[in-house]
Structure 1
Amino acid sequence: MEVYFKDILKERKFHFFYQPIYDLNTWGIFAFESLLRVSDHPKLNIEQLFSNARLNQTLYELDTAAIEGAVETFPFMLFTEQHLFINLFPSTLLDPRFEYFLYQLMMKYPEAQRNIVFELNESAKEQASWAAPELAKRIQWLNQSGIRIAIDDVGAGSATLKQIIEYKPKYIKLDRYFAKNLASSKERQQIVQLLTNYNVDDTTLILEGIEDEKDLATACALNVPFAQGYLLGKPQPILQYKTQYQFHNSIYTYL
């Protein structure tokens, strides 16, 4: 199995699905999140793939290969107004090679720079990286480069309110726990309302895990700006959304 994992990275045996993030005010697609899939084993646990890479000290290589692949396959020239959310391990951001990697990537895909949002991964195995004094400087460097950050799975894992205050992300992605049964839980509603109203440094909430119509209606009533989940759109090859988008635009132009 270990040889198989190494072969996935060496031969780039992966592709990407994209899940939409919706603007609940306009009902338009605000962004897409890229999700890595192994080409010949679509049900393989991706966390297991990254855990194996960490054990074999190839996490940086796998993470940057995934970033490059997500950018390479996304049609920025079509989705000019939509952002692309890409997962990034804090340890990758701290790696001294990352700055040059990102410079080369932006030189190759200049249209991507203003649309990329890096989602900082909340894995418990990244605790040391989250605590590194240098991380705040690296995040500041990204911001100065015109690249926004999001903190993923807030309310679960290692993502905490402390990190929101210290790192000033553009986006807070609230864990799906708070979306499930939102309509019937006053406690969840209060937390969602609190973070919806948190707008220091223009930080904006994205509610993950919307799978029920009543929960979606409650999110709208609470003025949640952005949401993501299977009810709104499942992860699919970008070609599916590209076709839908082009069809919608052709109808709009005709009308």
Structure 2
Amino acid sequence: MRMLNKADIRHIYQPMWNLDGWKVFGYEALMRISNRANTEIENVFIEARMKGQLFELDTIAIESAIRHFPLHILEEGLLFINFFPSTLMDERFLTFVMNLIDQYSIRSENIVFELNETIEEEHIWNLPEFKERMATLRDMGFKVALDDIGKGAATIQKIVEFSPDYIKLDRYFSENLSTSKEKQEMITLLIEYAKQKMGLILEGIETDVDLAYAKMIHVPVVQGYLLGRPQRMDEPSGLSMKALSF
């Protein structure tokens, strides 16, 4: 496969909802490849890593996520963008980010970088320089999130050591939440820990009853198909940060 360029990549966006007031909290940018409907995004990044082009692809994807999003609608909302730890460690990354700020007039406080966890990059989390790079990014005003909490074996340790601005609970916790006392109790414990420290977002909400239980146990923010499918932001229904009535 040839190296993808800007014209090959587009993004769709899925809303996250604040359950206190039913208002859009932010959007997660999800990468897609033009004219390749059946292409697995994960495989594209695996191939880029094998070819030594992961940084190039990751930064093209970050730029695309910002370029295709109408930043003016964010107001106080957030745009979540995925990237790899190795991208943060690359000496070119901070310059790349500063250029993005200039080019798109970004308000850094509206951008959350979600760190992808992979086996290939597990060693990076243990590097002292990684924590320093993360601190530098946050000093610039950006926020950092840990994704798929509950999926990775060492994730709890990372929450403690890196104290991210947001943690996103894996969809495992949403599935059959209404009938699983164990999941309800675990989420409640994480919510209690996160108070005053970091935001918590529950992914994968797909049924009314699971949404009701999420609200009942005071999950602050949720994301899932029930509340909004990923879509292009040039579609009229995608251009809103207003409250929703249920």
Q: Which amino acid aligns with 1:237?
A: R
Unaligned runs of 5+ in 2: none
CA deviations over 1:184-219 (Å, ceiling 9, x no partner)? 111111111011112365311100111111111111
Query: What SS is found at the alignment partner of 2:226?
Result: coil
Question: What's the TM-score, normalizing by structure 2?
Answer: 0.93
Could you tell me the percent identity over the aligned residues?
44
Pairing of 1:103-182 with structure 2 (within 5 A): 103-157=98-152, 160-182=155-177
CA contact (8 A) 1:16 1:37 kept: yes
Unaligned runs of 5+ in 1: 250-255
Q: Return the alpha-carbon distance in structure 2 between the equivalents of residues 159 and 236 of structure 1.
A: 32
Q: Return the alpha-carbon distance in structure 2 between the equivalents of residues 21 and 62 of structure 1.
A: 26
Query: What SS is found at the alignment partner of 2:52?
Result: coil
Shift of the 156–241 alpha-carbon distance from structure 1 to 2, 3 Å rule, reads farther
CA contact (8 A) 1:33 1:84 kept: yes
CA contact (8 A) 1:71 1:112 kept: no
Matched, 1:190 2:185: yes
Corresponding residue number in structure 1 for 2:35: 40
Q: Which amino acid aligns with 2:83?
A: L
- Cα RMSD of the aligned pairs, angstroms, is 1.8
Specify which of 45, 50, 55 is matched with residue 45 of structure 2: 50
Q: Return the alpha-carbon distance in structure 1 between the equivalents of residues 26 and 139 of structure 2.
A: 21
Matched, 1:27 2:32: no
Deviation of residue 64 (structure 1)? Answer: 0.5
CA deviations over 1:103-154 (Å, ceiling 9, x no partner)? 1111112233120000001122221222222111111111111100000001
Comparing 184-193 with 128-137, which one deviates more in the overlay?
128-137
Which of structure 1's runs of 4+ aligned residues deviate more than 6 A?
A: none
CA contact (8 A) 1:124 1:158 kept: no
Question: What's the TM-score, normalizing by structure 1?
Answer: 0.90
Q: Return the alpha-carbon distance in structure 1 between the equivalents of residues 39 and 86 of structure 2.
A: 23
Specify which of 182, 198, 203 is matched with residue 203 of structure 1: 198
CA contact (8 A) 1:151 1:159 kept: no
Matched, 1:214 2:209: yes
Query: What SS is found at the alignment partner of 1:202?
Result: coil
Q: Return the alpha-carbon distance in structure 2 between the equivalents of residues 77 and 84 of structure 1.
A: 11
Corresponding residue number in structure 2 for 1:13: 8
CA contact (8 A) 1:198 1:204 kept: no
Deviation of residue 159 (structure 1)? Answer: 5.5
Comparing 61-70 with 192-201, which one deviates more in the overlay?
192-201
